[in-house]
Structure 1
Amino acid sequence: MSKPFILRPIGLGLLATMLVLSADQVSKYWILYGLDLPNKGSVALLPFLNFTMVWNHAVTFGMFGGMGGAGRIVFSAIALAVAGVLLVWMARTPSKLTATCVGAITGGAIGNVMDRLRYGAVVDFIHAHAFGWSWYVFNVADSAIVCAVCVLLVQNVLAGKEQQAT
């Protein structure tokens, strides 16, 4: 008897995709329409954390921000192509952890594409800062992508060490 779909790597990956995409879009909706952050600009939550409204017309860390209106289409097309490749990877991997991480990355990428197509820019609002240091403003999708990539990197390093030991 085969495992239920949700317990297979692809099932877990798709679940991660939907969870990240949902959390991202719900958080952005609340930021825009519940908290009304665009009119408030910034709201202090903790001494080191604010919600600060930023419309990101560029990509990671503000790169390629000078593309104007074409950036919206170019960045969306690239992100959707990457999401397609990630879905193929997710479908082919036998690893539940890999599929879950790839699913989280896919959900984050799709969430940011939805923003670009709907608003013309990505909604960023999480702003960490302390002792005069300030990190880039980001969102739930960005967090999921970064965390999942870090887990994949650690997984890869640990797998490499196991292969070297044998």
Structure 2
Amino acid sequence: MDPVNRASLSSAWRWFALAGAVVLADQLTKAMVLSRFVLGERLELTGFFNMVLVYNKGAAFSFLSDAAGWQTPLLIGFALVAIGIVGTLLVRSRGRRLLCSGLALILGGALGNLIDRLRYGQVVDFLDFHAGAWHWPAFNVADSAITIGAALLIIEGFVHHEGRARAAP
């Protein structure tokens, strides 16, 4: 292995560790909810936040959740491709902390939800924010990590673009 590739892999390990921490937090919180709640059971914690056990057979915001089952293999395939792409980008993106942080969070979230799809054929969701009778679709730690990771990538795009613009003659 040449020195550049060795250095890339060496610096990527910390980001893979962050992704692993996301997977661990995601799976531990889901195990806790599964051991204490029955499907649909709701625990009101504040006037705007509940914990509730729901299953999502679809994608984000329950997209495709009412499909006849064909979506599960499709979503597993998408997750595997995304994990491969994000993992590769993580190894190649040395020195860009914001970018690597975002990619690691996305990787961990994708792996967490993939584990659910492989184990249960659906994703375990339990975080329920609401305003009165209006409820945001329930989500989990993996979904949160993916969202925060995507936000970091957007911020990185602006920061990196601005840095390049300043460097231009």
What TM bracket, shorter-length normalisation? Answer: 0.7 to 0.9
**Distance (Å, rounded) in 2 between the aligned partners of 1:157 and 1:9:** 23
**TM-score normalised by length of structure 1:** 0.87
**Distance (Å, rounded) in 2 between the aligned partners of 1:19 and 1:26:** 10
- Give 1:13 deviation, angstroms: 1.3
- Give 1:69 deviation, angstroms: 2.2
**TM-score normalised by length of structure 2:** 0.86
Counterpart of 2:102 in 1: which secondary structure? Answer: helix
Measured on the aligned residues, the alpha-carbon RMSD in Å equals 2.4
The alignment status of 1:101 with 2:102, answered yes or no, reads: yes
**Distance (Å, rounded) in 1 between the aligned partners of 2:73 and 2:23:** 20
Aligned match for 2:18, one of 8, 16, 20: 16
Counterpart of 1:38 in 2: which secondary structure? Answer: coil
- Give 1:40 deviation, angstroms: 6.0
Residue correspondences, number: 162
Unpaired runs of 5+ residues, structure 2, are 1-6
Aligned counterpart, 1:151: 152
* C-alpha contact (below 8 Å) 1:107/1:141 kept by paired residues: yes
Counterpart of 1:65 in 2: which secondary structure? Answer: coil
Identity over aligned pairs, percent: 30
- Which amino acid is 2:50 matched to? N
Unpaired runs of 5+ residues, structure 1, are none
Aligned counterpart, 2:73: 73
**Distance (Å, rounded) in 2 between the aligned partners of 1:130 and 1:28:** 24
**Distance (Å, rounded) in 2 between the aligned partners of 1:161 and 1:96:** 16
Give the 4+ runs in structure 1 shifted more than 4 A.
none
* C-alpha contact (below 8 Å) 2:23/2:112 kept by paired residues: yes
- Which amino acid is 1:16 matched to? L
* C-alpha contact (below 8 Å) 1:12/1:99 kept by paired residues: no
- Which amino acid is 2:20 matched to? M
Aligned counterpart, 2:161: 160
| Correspondence 1:6-155 to 2 at 5 A | 9-33=11-35, 35=36, 37-39=37-39, 41-94=41-94, 95-155=96-156
